[in-house]
Every structure is written in structure tokens, then in C-alpha cells.
Amino acid sequence: MDKISSLKKEIIDTLDFNKATDIVSIDLEGKSSMADYMIIASGTSSRHIQALSEQVFEKFKKSGIQNCKIEGKESNDWKLVDGIDLIVHIFNPEKRKFYELEKMWSELIPKEKLII
């Protein structure tokens, strides 16, 4: 198992252990050059979402990813933890349903329509 796949499993396990719900991993190979994988999960409250994002951030730091960051710090509904090759979105269920990232990124996108 390569390093990014191992880290992806560790992040999913961390989210699961800490009671994130509806955890989905999306392979971005051939769809985007911004990352290799995207993980999407839901939290139960703004505090839960914040705590999950901080735990994921710490996992990235411990794995040696120095340029990782949390976006959406002011939001109570959504956080993005950017681990360079692995991006983690943590939503409240209502916002997640509104944005439908799983649907958008899971569909095959023709190369000529790729912008990112």
C-alpha cells in the first residue's frame, strides 16, 4: 500500500472512530489534478465538525504534510482540511445535501470539461 492510500485509510479510520457519519472516499485520478482523493464526512454539530477537522489536521501533520491547512474556520457548517494529495470535507448534513459533492465528483467528467 502506498503512502497516500495508507494515509487515506488512517483518516477514514479517525473519522469513523470519532463518530463522523456517511464517510465517502472519492478517487480523483483522471478527474482533477488538485488531489488524489477526496473524503467527505458529516458531523453532528458545529463543535463536532470543528473537532473532526482538528483531528484530521493533526493526522496530516504527524504524517509529515507540512503545508496542510483548515479552510472554513469561521463556518459552523463546513470545514475543508487540505492535505495536499488528500482533501477532507466535513459538513453538517443539510449543507452536504445542498452541495452534493459526491454526485459532482463521482460522475465521470470528460477531459475537455475539466477546469481544475
Residue 110 confidence (pLDDT): 52
CA atoms of 115 and 9, how far apart (whole Å): 28
pTM of this prediction?
0.87
111 domain residue, yes or no: no
11 domain residue, yes or no: yes
102 domain residue, yes or no: no
- Model confidence at 111: pLDDT above 70: no
93 domain residue, yes or no: yes
Cell of 80: 475543508
Whose CA is closest to 84, among 15, 13, 19, 36?
Answer: 36
Give 18-59 pLDDT, tens digit per residue: 999 999 999 988 778 889 999 999 999 999 999 999 999 999
CATH number (domain holding residue 87): 3.30.460.10
